[in-house]
């Protein structure tokens, strides 16, 4: 099956991982696979191993195991401490950290389902194979979803999911008194569009329009929407700002009207979680993607309204009605059809954007190895971090802890000096030549072995020494981050080769998105060194990278000028010049 989502539940006080997938080769059947075999754990770094084991024994923990790992490259003996339940970790970890014989604890802040994905080396949005499963004889009568018990190994096959069912939705509200208030203002339309050509607006009016599904009242409107989602079971359900508007609004209206909205594959309700300043709304099984945060990351615009984003992506205007007057379009018979068309246009536009943008996010999901639900809401720095957490497991490296509040406040505000910029010379320049470095920063990280684990004060070892700052980076062994970027770039080269050898346009398109995702990830790696919430934060690394960057571009400009070129503009990794002979 294709792995769409993952979580865990507690059964008989024991955590059970749930893998939500679709059997794409078997009639697209939805499946929930239960795995009861996985347990949470953390690491303790002891000051004295024997003493530490003795002290830990007294806490009556599930299981202790001594392991040899590396801590920023340094061989380190750690104790792997297993727990019965993920919620035991926050309860007990402080007591472990406070033991006299414990120097530090690690990997105590990795959510259980993420740990599972990493340790089993499985990846969402890829085909998942089970070596042993026990099938339930029939799908659940109430939810129509089949449950299987995992009894053996689980593994990703490496083949990505294609042909996913994407459905978009969008609500319209009658709000005559300012912004919509779910305590007061009713939902009058819900637009739905799927990639099987399904386009529809559910409403209590509009029976003369062929794309409208008419219902009795608002409660039925909500239940009809639920019925469509449950019945069609899209792999991905997309909205625009649906985390903070549509879903919370629908949920509140459903509660007021007593409508049933059990959209989850297990019959569970939609759940809106407060995450700091923003919300995230989850449906068990179906991946809900809010395109708004995705688009903010993907393009650089002054505004990110649906209209603006659509216009930028497709070069076409979509129907736009004044938000504060939509209620009039609903109330006045002669205007109502326009509101219906607007509603349909919104949901179709959302769907088109999803079709265009999701392939890249699906590839990022596979690369980072965390659920699409999470990836679509993560800043790129977070994506890079979780990619590294997975790599750290593969390399036997201990993951640094998340920065504490005091680390964070110490770090924030410090910024590395950026790239070299020569302000453009005013005027119209003719016969311009252009030069730029290909992936300058990733190349510098690799060639100068810039990594927190290679940074050293040791004057003896052979080092690359950063210009301006004099930071020293050991030449060998290869650092953690340079190794990882090396892997990314060589995979990208391999995919580009494969692209050259393919004449199937569909395959080339897929490969092109894959190399694009790799490029983005490689380019993110520089920025995160200076990102104050990054586990592998290192201002020295960030400063060294840009220092070498400035050094290279300036030297290149100087050489060009010796050959008779005149630079009219330069920025970070490239410059423009005229030739004067």
Minimum CB–partner distance for residue 311 and DNA (Å): 11
Residue of 25, 87, 394, 490 interacting with DNA (CB under 7 A)? 87
What number of helices (H) and strands (E) belong to the chain? 16, 26
Contact criterion met (CB below 8 Å) for 318 and 261: no
Q: Is 306 in the site for DNA (CB under 7 A)?
A: yes
Q: What is the C-alpha R_g of the chain?
A: 27
173 interacts with DNA by CB under 7 A: yes
Determine which residue in the list 4, 8, 446, 483 makes contact with DNA, applying CB under 7 A.
8
Residue 202 contacts DNA per CB under 7 A: no
Residue 419 binds DNA, judged by CB under 7 A: no
State yes or no: residue 386 binds DNA (CB under 7 A).
no
Tell me the C-alpha distance between 43 and 93, whole Å.
10
Single out the residue of 101, 241, 311, 523 in contact with DNA (rule: CB under 7 A): 241
Nearer to DNA, 102 or 466 (CB): 102
Tell me which residues in 50-69 interact with DNA (CB under 7 A). Answer: none
Residue among 63, 95, 162, 275 that touches DNA (CB under 7 A): 275
Nearest to DNA of 23, 337 (CB atom): 337
Q: Which of 75, 197, 276, 505 contacts DNA by CB under 7 A?
A: 276
Residues 537-576 that bind DNA (CB under 7 A): none
Give 325's DSSP letter. Answer: G
Rounded Cα gap, residues 89 and 83, in angstroms? 7
Among 303, 426, 438, 580, binds DNA (CB under 7 A): 303
| Shortest Å distance, C-beta 241 to DNA | 4
| Of positions 11, 14, 135, 179, contacts DNA by CB under 7 A | 179
What are 165's two structure tokens? 């069912």
Which range binds DNA by CB under 7 A, 83-91, 362-370, 388-396, 425-433?
83-91
Residue of 155, 16, 44 whose CA lies nearest to 401: 44
Using rule CB under 7 A, residue 527 touches DNA: no
109 lies in the binding site for DNA (CB under 7 A): yes
HSE of 420, CA atoms in CB hemisphere, 13 A: 20
Binding test (CB under 7 A) with DNA, winner from 186, 307, 487, 491? 307
Three-state SS for 480-549 is HHHHHHHHHHHHHHHHHHHHHCCCCHHHHHHHHHHHHHHHHHHHHHHHHCCCCCCCCCCHHHHHHHHHHH
Stretch that binds DNA, among 28-36, 170-178, 203-211, 560-568 (CB under 7 A): 170-178
Q: Does 240 bind DNA (CB under 7 A)?
A: yes
303: CB partners within 8 A, 6+ apart: none
318-357 footprint of DNA as x/- string (CB under 7 A): -----xx-x-------------------x-----------
> Rounded to the nearest whole angstrom, what is the least distance from the CB of residue 341 to DNA in the complex?
13
By rule CB under 7 A, what count of residues binds DNA? 48
The answer to whether 535 contacts DNA (rule: CB under 7 A) is no
The token duo for 147 is 């449950």
**Would you count residue 89 as binding DNA (CB under 7 A)?**
yes
Nearer residue to DNA within complex by CB, 195 or 380: 380
Which residue's CB is nearer to DNA, number 39 or number 429? 39
Closest-CA residue to 448 (of 296, 324, 551, 305): 551
| Angstrom distance (rounded) from CA 212 to CA 208 | 8
Q: How far is CA 265 from CA 17, 232, 268, 324, 565, in A?
A: 15, 12, 7, 37, 65
- Residue 277 binding DNA, by CB under 7 A: yes
Interaction between residue 218 and DNA (CB under 7 A): no
DSSP element (H, E) containing 363? helix 333-368
Return all residues near 439 (Cβ < 8 A) that are at least 6 apart: 489, 519, 522, 523
> Is residue 307 a contact partner of residue 318, using CB atoms and an 8 Å limit?
yes
The Cα–Cα gap between 244 and 221 comes to 20
Q: What mask of x and - would describe binding to DNA in positions 469 to 508, judged by CB under 7 A?
A: ----------------------------------------
178 interacts with DNA by CB under 7 A: yes
Distance, in Å, from the CA atom of 94 to the CA atom of 99, rounded to the nearest integer, reads 9
* End-to-end alpha carbon distance in the chain: 64
Contact assessment for residue 547 and residue 470, using Cβ atoms and an 8 Å cutoff: no
* The two structure tokens encoding residue 324: 């504060």
Least Cβ distance, residue 536 to DNA (angstroms): 16
Least distance in angstroms from the C-beta of 171 to DNA: 6
Strand partners, 70: 75, 397
Residue closer to DNA (CB basis): 64 or 560: 64
Question: Can residue 290 be called a binding residue for DNA (CB under 7 A)?
Answer: no
Q: How far apart are CA 112 and CA 98, in angstroms?
A: 23
Q: Considering beta carbons, is residue 107 or 363 the nearer one to DNA?
A: 107
Q: Applying CB under 7 A, which residues contact DNA?
A: 8, 40-42, 86-87, 89-90, 107-113, 115, 170-173, 175, 178-180, 240-241, 244-245, 273-277, 292, 296, 303-307, 323-324, 326, 346, 379, 381, 531, 533
């Amino acid at each position: 099956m294709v792995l769409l989502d993952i979580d865990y539940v507690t059964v008989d006080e024991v955590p059970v991982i749930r893998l939500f997938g679709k059997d794409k080769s078997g009639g697209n059947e939805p499946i929930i696979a239960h795995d009861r075999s996985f347990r949470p754990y953390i690491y303790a770094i002891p000051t004295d191993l024997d003493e530490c084991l003795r002290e830990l024994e007294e806490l009556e923990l599930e299981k202790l195991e001594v392991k040899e790992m590396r801590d920023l490259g340094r061989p380190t003996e750690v104790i792997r401490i297993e727990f019965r339940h993920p919620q035991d970790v926050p309860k007990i970890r402080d007591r472990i950290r406070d033991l006299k014989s414990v120097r530090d604890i690690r990997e105590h802040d990795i959510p259980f389902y993420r740990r599972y994905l990493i340790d089993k080396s499985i990846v969402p949005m890829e085909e998942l194979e089970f070596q042993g499963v026990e099938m339930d004889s029939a799908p659940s009568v109430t939810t129509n979803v089949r449950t299987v018990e995992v009894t053996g190994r689980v593994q990703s096959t490496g083949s990505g999911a294609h042909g996913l069912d994407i459905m978009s939705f969008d609500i319209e509200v009658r709000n005559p008194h300012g912004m919509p208030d779910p305590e007061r203002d009713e939902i009058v339309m819900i637009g739905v569009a799927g990639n099987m050509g399904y386009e529809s607006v559910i409403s209590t009016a509009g029976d003369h329009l062929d794309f409208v599904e008419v219902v009795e009242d608002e409660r039925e409107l909500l239940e009809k929407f639920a019925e469509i989602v449950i019945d069609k079971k899209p792999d991905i359900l997309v909205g625009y700002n649906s985390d903070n508007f549509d879903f919370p609004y629908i949920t509140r209206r459903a509660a007021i009207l007593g409508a049933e909205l059990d959209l989850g594959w297990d019959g569970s309700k939609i759940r809106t979680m407060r995450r700091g300043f923003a919300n995230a709304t989850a449906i068990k099984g179906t991946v809900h993607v809010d395109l708004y945060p995705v688009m903010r990351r993907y393009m650089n615009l002054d505004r990110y309204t649906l209209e603006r984003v659509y216009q930028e992506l497709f070069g076409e205007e979509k129907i736009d009605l004044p938000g504060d007057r939509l209620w009039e379009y609903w109330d006045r018979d002669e205007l109502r059809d326009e509101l219906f068309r607007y509603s349909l246009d919104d949901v179709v536009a959302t769907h088109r954007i999803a079709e265009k943008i999701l392939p890249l996010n699906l590839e990022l999901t596979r690369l980072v190895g965390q659920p699409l639900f999470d990836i679509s809401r993560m800043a790129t720095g977070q994506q890079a971090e979780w990619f590294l957490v997975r790599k750290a497991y593969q390399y036997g490296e201990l993951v640094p802890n998340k920065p504490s509040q005091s680390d964070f406040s110490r770090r924030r505000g410090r910024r590395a000096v950026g790239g070299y910029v020569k302000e453009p010379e005013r005027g119209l320049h003719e016969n311009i030549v252009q030069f730029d470095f290909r992936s300058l920063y990733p190349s510098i990280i690799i060639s100068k072995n810039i990594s927190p684990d290679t940074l050293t004060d040791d004057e003896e070892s052979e080092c690359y020494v950063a210009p301006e700052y004099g930071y020293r980076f050991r030449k060998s062994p290869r650092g953690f981050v340079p190794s990882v970027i090396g892997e990314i770039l060589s995979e990208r080269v391999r995919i580009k080769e494969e692209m050259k050898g393919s004449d199937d346009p569909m395959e080339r398109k897929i490969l092109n998105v894959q190399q694009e995702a790799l490029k983005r990830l490689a380019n993110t790696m520089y920025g995160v060194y200076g990102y104050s919430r990054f586990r592998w934060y290192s201002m020295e690394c960030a400063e060294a990278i840009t220092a070498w960057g400035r050094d290279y571009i300036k030297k290149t400009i100087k050489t060009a000028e010796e050959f008779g070129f005149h630079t009219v503009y330069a920025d970070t990794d490239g410059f423009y010049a005229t030739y004067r002979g």
